[in-house]
Structure 1
Amino acid sequence: MSLSPWLVIGSLLTGACSAFLAWYLRRHCGQPGVNWAIVTVLALAVWSVSDGVSLLVFEPTLRLVLETVSWTGMIGAGIAYLAFALDYTGRGPLVRSTGFALLSVVPAATIGLVLTNPLHGLVWSGFRLDPVFGVATVSYEFGPIAYIGLLSGILYATAGTVLVLETAVSYGPVYRTETLWVGLSAVLPCLALATWLFELGPYPQLHLTTIVFLPHLALDAYAIVASGMIELNPSTRRTAQRRAVEDLSDPVVVVNTDDRLVEYNPAAGSTFDLSEAHLGEPFETVATVDLETTPTNRLVTDHEGPESAEFTASVSELTDPSGARVGYIVVFRDVTERRQRRQQQTVMNRVLRHNLRNDLNVVSGYVDLSIEHTDDETIEAYLKRVQSDVDDVLELGEKSRALERTIEALDTSPTTVSIRPLLASLEPGERGRSRVRTDGASRLEIDVPVDLELRTHERVFRTLFANLVENGFEHNDGDSPRVAISYVGLADGMAVFEVADDGPGIPEHELAVLERGEETPLSHGSGLGLWIATWCATALGGEIEFDSGDDGTTVTVCVPAATDAASGSRRAVTRD
């Protein structure tokens, strides 16, 4: 069998497949990239069908008309494919930009010159039939417009291919396989078109590009029809990433490795008075902040204006696919009001605690004197009740001050803490709690490995367990109160401890308040101890659970077992 039927059949089959793909895509009109994909495959259908039919036409005038139609589809396919790639990969606004309109001038002008070529001959000249393999191939001399139009189409198609392949690399397995095939499938037709344009090979008049499009269309059909490429387009993810930063109320800036401003969101623009003119400038000079690009949270100050503003700056490294550092993303959070409010609260708390402590100490002294000078047992009982209440209020003040110091400790960096010595220091006789028995009858048992270490906030960790231990002793009226702290091990990256006592258990209404997470006028706990323990566990990124009954209470405490950044090993050592 001669080659000529296959040349015709190949081109017509490409045209039929293109038309089918356009018909299938119509149900997805409006989704990112779909409209332009339809334009692309329709241009390819026009190109392929006219090319296939023209191989059977030996009448010169009609053959010239078909060649003109073929060129129209050929020129239009490249710019349409670039528009598809931009829209599909989440860069749709670029298609509607002035820049893209300027790019479209070249193919539009080329098509106009192709249609009017008999008048000027700028696209080709010397048009003639030059049959090969029994089909009506033609030869002509390319003019400068032909090279400009076709090379720009190849360039646009190549740019679109790069965009699609970039998506395959950047957006993970959800899109990788489909976009990879679609991107690579456009390479072979571009090579075939370039071969024909530069008249390479033994039969330069033979134009095989439309036939080479068959595997391209097959891969496109697989990606679009079989794997749901259109439904899972990366435009959603790219748009979400862009909007997540643009709509963020916190200022976000991107700087390169030299700390020069590369990008910023609207919040950063308004906060630091940034504009496009500041891009490329050192960020510290345009924003008047002391910035240190180390991956951490730290306090920075904006010195611009009559009043300084304070921010916490969270810095994250930007790396390219090879892992090389290319810049930093800095997220600022305005903490000016929060810090001022904390300062005000701190001053008020200290003043109140100081006055309360002084006044209540005076009251306590007078109560003691009154007890010594009365012989009335009823009055003495009343005074002792007053003394007990005064002690309670003084203890609440001390706990409030300890809690304030604990909260302040959260602003410091975690350190590596040896857990067993810390817990052993909570022995009843060493803690100085006025309401806990220190006659030797109280026992604190520690079952924790000697070499157990955690990277944590030491003061917060200590306050957490100190309040649990105190609670276990304070409310136990037995002859020999016992509290035991044991290390259970690691679970889901958390170090698990248990604090068990043999007391009467925690009242149900107090546990209900802790589970509900808020105090109410009609339902409240008897003190701050369990609240402080719960807050500390949460502040450390952990959690706490209470299991209480008539025979005692077991508190399960889970705190993060930090990972060593250098070695990746766990600092928490599990027991054998």
Structure 2
Amino acid sequence: MFPGPELYAAVLFLTVLPAAYLIRAVWSRLDRPSGRWLVVTLVGMSGWSVSWALMLLFEGYRLSLWSFNVVVLFASVTTIGWLFVTIEYTWQKQVEHRIVAPFLIVPAVVQVLIWTNPFHELVWRPGTFVDAQGVLHPVHGLGFYLHIGYSYLLVVAGLVLLTVAFVEREGLYRKQAFLLLLGGFIPTVFPIAFVFGMIPTDYLNPTPLGFLLGTSIWGWALFRYQLLKTVPVARRMVLAEMSEGVLIVDDGNVVTDANDALHEMFDLESDPTGKPLESVLEPYEGLRSLIQSGTFSDERITVELNGEPRHLTVSKSSVTHDGGTGGWVLVFNDRTALFRYEEDLELLKGVLARVLRHDIRNKLNVIRAHGELLAQQTDGQHAKQARTVVQTSDAVIETAEKAKAIESLVEADRPLYDTDLVHVAGRTVDWATEQYPDVDIEFDAPDQAWVRADERLALGIRSLVENGIEHNDSDAPMVRVAIERTDDTVTLTVDDNGSGIDRYEQRVFEGEAVDQLNHSTGLGLWLVNWVVRNSNGATTVTQTETGTRFVVTLERRFPSESRAVDACESEPGSR
């Protein structure tokens, strides 16, 4: 017992409600791949259901035929929308209008044939009639078969794309692809059952019920598995966007994929896909030898590309499949500009080092010697000016020495040594007491405190003490150095009673950018920063009620594990 046409028409009207709800949910995601085309598909499904319902309600031949023509229109809307849902979902980008336009040609031709059918009868042949229940019984012509064939071609193409996506993807994205595929497959099967006479009642076309099931499944994918919200990054798109050249080979060393950057980097005249790796890299003997080894990362090699030497870094990683190696991924990065910059930088460092350590120092020693001589041979204002020359020369020479130390501190992978911080800081305090007799210098420390630190630690401590003395504008300058131990760390605290530290000086320890307007006034604090950073320690600077406090925290070591470093012995007082 089947419902009558009017009752079935009412059911078809109700099937539109879930689609309308889903359209509302998708509307906020129209800018995502597949979003707008899913709306088009749902509109096509809804229009199909409403038009078929109207055909059942209309009694006259003309209105029933008109409704059937509109069914064909919405069927085309549905299939085109479905195809581009799958294309954008698998490509993960919105397609341009110029790509869509060719797909509209056949539906446009079919619509012209349908609405001009009385003149040629290529869609509905003679013998088409409406029965007593208002159901149209068409006799199909060539134009209708063109519509059916084209529609199923689009539907099957979309199903194939999603099947491939389902096979290739994993986890959440595989579930998305499966539900999208299932929701499109069910409405495809239902019309086939109707066309081949498997439904005993002519008006009971189950296609809208297939739409209802498909819409429900898509709604599940939308809300449960974040369809159109959480989307997979397409492998092809990633490869295309990479600036590095990528070459993928199988376990037989046959190239299976290569991106555009690789084509451009090696100026390949043809697609290397399907060719043996040896033949693709035949002009580059050194490169062929390198990749014959196992996996490696960022190996440097120089090859001649386009007639000039290029410096590349090459990485090789394995692709595993079912517990075994299924191939290799080679990544080529052209570092020519960076390597040349490094070479120029090393040359510049060498030139500056020679100028600072040799040329300028020698000339300053000459100036200093003449200043001392003038100070001894003159008196009064002239002697005072001569002593200023000597002091300024000493300051510049000391700056050059600090620059020399910093040059070594910025090198990577510097070794660390076990050092008695109490011994090093104590020698620094002794030196400062002798050099600055007018400054009250206090020292509070345990018997010993071993730390893991850079060999330039003594120079860093000296710079902190000097900073507290030389920038102290108090009438009775005071500097206090204290060392405290915890279970895991040792802290060195340097307090002064000056007017405080400038904000620009604090930025040295905060990693902020330095420019011509915002920078430290000397190299001392930079030297402290690099020494502590190389020692895997930390430095904090705070303003206190009486002045400025520097706190350096280092890793603690223990006497049974430790060995003093001679290099730390020579820093205080050396010049």
Scaled to the shorter chain, the TM-score interval is: 0.5 to 0.7
Q: Which whole-Å CA distance do the structure 2 matches of 1:331 and 1:487 have between them?
A: 47
CA distance in 2 between partners of 1:160 and 1:403 (Å): 60
Stretch of structure 1 that moved more, 55-64 or 330-339: 55-64
Q: Which residue is equivalent to 1:52?
A: 53
Cα distance, 1:210 vs. partner? Answer: 0.8
**Could you report, residue by residue, the CA deviation over 1:516-539 in whole angstroms, capped at 9, with x for unpaired residues?**
7658699853x4221123356678
C-alpha distance 379-36 of structure 1, shift in aligned 2 (>3 A) = closer
Residue 408 of structure 2 corresponds to residue 405 of structure 1: yes
Residue pairs, 1:1-400, within 5 angstroms: 2-4=2-4, 6-15=7-16, 33=34, 36-55=37-56, 67=68, 69-87=70-88, 90-93=92-95, 96-97=98-99, 136=135, 148-159=149-160, 184-196=182-194, 207-217=205-215, 246=241, 251-256=243-248, 262-264=258-260, 272=265, 274=267, 277-278=270-271, 280=273, 299=300, 301=302, 303-304=304-305, 308-310=309-311, 327=329, 332=334, 334-336=337-339, 338-352=341-355, 353-359=357-363, 389-400=392-403
CA distance in 2, matches of 1:483, 1:194: 89
Query: Residues of 2 paired with 1:485 and 1:303: CA distance?
Result: 59
Structure showing greater radius of gyration is: 2
Distance 1:62 1:479, change over 3 A: closer
Q: Which residue of 2 aligns with 1:484?
A: 483
- Contact kept? 2:429, 2:443, Cα under 8 Å: no
Q: Distance in 1 between matches of 2:72 and 2:496?
A: 92
The answer as to 2:460 corresponding to 1:468 is yes
Residues 139 and 205, structure 1, Cα contact 8 Å, conserved in 2: no
User: Is the 1:315–1:328 contact (alpha carbons within 8 Å) kept by the matching residues of 2?
Assistant: yes
Does the 8 Å contact 2:421/2:448 carry over to 1? no
Q: Deviations over 1:177-226 (max 9, x none)?
A: 999866653343233234445666888995312123224445667988x9
Q: Is the 8 A contact 1:274 1:287 kept in 2?
A: no
The alpha-carbon distance between structure 1 residues 528 and 319, as it changes in their structure 2 partners (threshold 3 A), is farther
Relative distance call for 1:432 and 1:387 in structure 2 (3 A) is farther
Alpha-carbon distance in 1 for matches of 2:533, 2:25: 54
CA distance in 2, matches of 1:115, 1:326: 59
1:525-564 alignment to 2 at 5 Å? Answer: 525=521, 527-535=522-530, 544-547=539-542, 549=544, 550=546, 553-556=549-552
Offset at residue 402 of structure 1 (A): 2.5
Secondary structure of the residue aligned to 1:91 is coil
- Contact 1:273-1:287 at 8 Å conserved across structures: no
Cα distance 1:150–1:305, how it changes in 2: closer, same or farther (>3 A)?
closer
Change (3 A) 1:552 1:508: closer
User: Is the CA contact 2:82–2:155 (under 8 Å) kept in the aligned structure 1?
Assistant: no
C-alpha change, 1:49 and 1:193, in structure 2 (3 Å) is: same
Kept in 1, the 8 Å contact 2:124–2:139? The answer is: no
Cα offsets for 1:32-58 (capped at 9, x unmatched): 656544542343234223333445678
Q: Distance in 2 between matches of 1:428 and 1:312?
A: 43
- TM-score when normalising by structure 1: 0.61
Distance 1:534 1:17, change over 3 A: same
Task: Please say if residues 320 and 327 of structure 2, whose CA atoms lie closer than 8 Å, have aligned partners that are also in contact.
Answer: yes
Q: Distance in 2 between matches of 1:336 and 1:196?
A: 70
Is structure 2 residue 418 aligned with structure 1 residue 428?
A: no
Post-superposition offset of 1:313:
7.1
Letter in 2 for 1:154: V
Kept after mapping to 1: 8 A contact 2:540/2:552: yes
Q: Is the 8 A contact 1:33 1:84 kept in 2?
A: yes
Cα distance, 1:138 vs. partner?
A: 6.1
Is the Cα contact below 8 Å between 2:165 and 2:177 reproduced in 1? yes
CA distance, structure 2, for counterparts of residue 35 and residue 45 of structure 1: 16
Higher RCO structure, 1 or 2 (CA under 8 Å, sep 6+): 2
Code of the aligned partner of 1:484: I
Equivalent residue for 1:499? 492
**Structure 1 CA distance, aligned partners of 2:131 and 2:246?**
60
Residues 427 and 269 of structure 1, relative CA distance in 2, 3 Å threshold:
farther
- How far apart, CA to CA, are the structure 1 residues paired with 2:499 and 2:299? 42
Counterpart secondary structure, 2:247: strand
Given that residues 448 and 487 in structure 1 are in contact (C-alpha distance below 8 angstroms), is that contact kept between their aligned partners in structure 2?
no
The aligned amino acid for 1:499 is: L
The CA distance in 2 between the partners of 1:159 and 1:387, in whole Å, is 86
The gaps in structure 2 that reach 5 residues or longer are 436-441, 470-476, 556-575
Are the aligned partners of 1:297 and 1:314 in contact in 2 as well (CA < 8 Å)?
yes
What are the superposed Cα offsets for residues 368-426 of structure 1, whole Å, 9 maximum, x if unpaired?
9999x98999999988876665554343323222322233x23xxx59x7x6x434489
User: Structure 1 113/520 Cα, relative in aligned 2: closer, same or farther at 3 Å?
Assistant: closer
Distance 1:288 1:207 in 2: 68
Q: Distance in 2 between matches of 1:211 and 1:264?
A: 46
Q: Which runs of 5+ in 1 are unaligned?
A: 453-460, 490-495, 560-576
Mapped to 1, the partners of 2:517 and 2:122 lie a distance apart of 93
The answer as to whether partners of 2:297 and 2:315 remain within 8 angstroms in 1 is yes
Partners of 1:193 and 1:209 within 8 A in 2: yes
User: Could you state the TM-score of these two structures normalised by the residue count of structure 2?
Assistant: 0.62
**What SS does structure 2 have at the residue aligned with 1:49?**
helix
Q: Structure 2: how far apart are the matches of 1:314 and 1:297?
A: 5
CA shift at 1:327, angstroms? 3.9
Identity of aligned residues (%): 17
- Which moved further from structure 2: 536-545 or 396-405? 536-545
| Structure-1 residue corresponding to 2:571 | none
Secondary structure of 2:540's counterpart equals strand
RMSD, aligned CA: 6.4
Could you tell me whether the CA contact under 8 Å between 2:135 and 2:203 is conserved in 1? Answer: no
Aligned in 2, Cα 1:180/1:533: closer, same or farther, shift over 3 Å? farther
Spell out, residue by residue over 1:228-261, the C-alpha distance to the aligned partner (whole angstroms, 9 max, x if none): x89x7679x979x969985x9xx43333256956
8 Å contact from structure 1 (residues 317, 325) kept in 2: yes
Q: Which amino acid aligns with 1:508?
A: G
**In the superposition, relative to structure 1, how do residues 473 and 535 fare at CA in structure 2: closer, same or farther (>3 Å)?**
closer
Moved more, 9-18 or 135-144: 135-144
For the Cα contact (< 8 Å) 1:429–1:438, is it kept in 2? no
8 Å CA contact 1:199, 1:205 repeated in 2: no
Q: Is the contact between residue 29 and residue 35 of structure 2 (CA under 8 Å) also seen in structure 1? A: yes
Asked if the contact 2:286–2:303 (Cα under 8 Å) also holds between the matched residues in 1, the reply is yes
Distance change (3 Å), C-alpha of 1:383 and 1:146: closer
Q: Structure 2 residue aligned with 1:515, among 507, 511, 517?
A: 507
Cα distance in 2 for partners of 1:315, 1:539 equals 31
Please state whether the residue corresponding to 2:398 is helix, strand or coil: helix
Asked whether the 8 Å contact 1:256–1:262 carries over to 2, the reply is: yes
- Give the Å deviation of 1:12: 3.0
Structure 1, 534-543 or 211-220: larger mean CA deviation: 534-543
